[in-house]
Structure 1
Amino acid sequence: MPDDVRDLPAGQNDGLYRFLGGSPLSVAFRLILLSILVGVVLAAVGFDPWNIIHSIRMLFQRLWDLGFDTINWLWRYFLLGAVIVIPVWLLSRLFGAPRGR
Structure 2
Amino acid sequence: MVDRVSDFLGGSPLGVLVRLIVLSLVVGFVLSWLGWSPREILFWLEDTVRDVWRGLFGSMDRLVNYFLVGAAIVFPLFLLSRLFKSGRR
Instruction: State the TM-score, normalized to the length of structure 2.
Output: 0.43
Larger radius of gyration: 2
Instruction: State the TM-score, normalized to the length of structure 1.
Output: 0.38
Please state which structure has a larger fraction of its residues in helix.
2
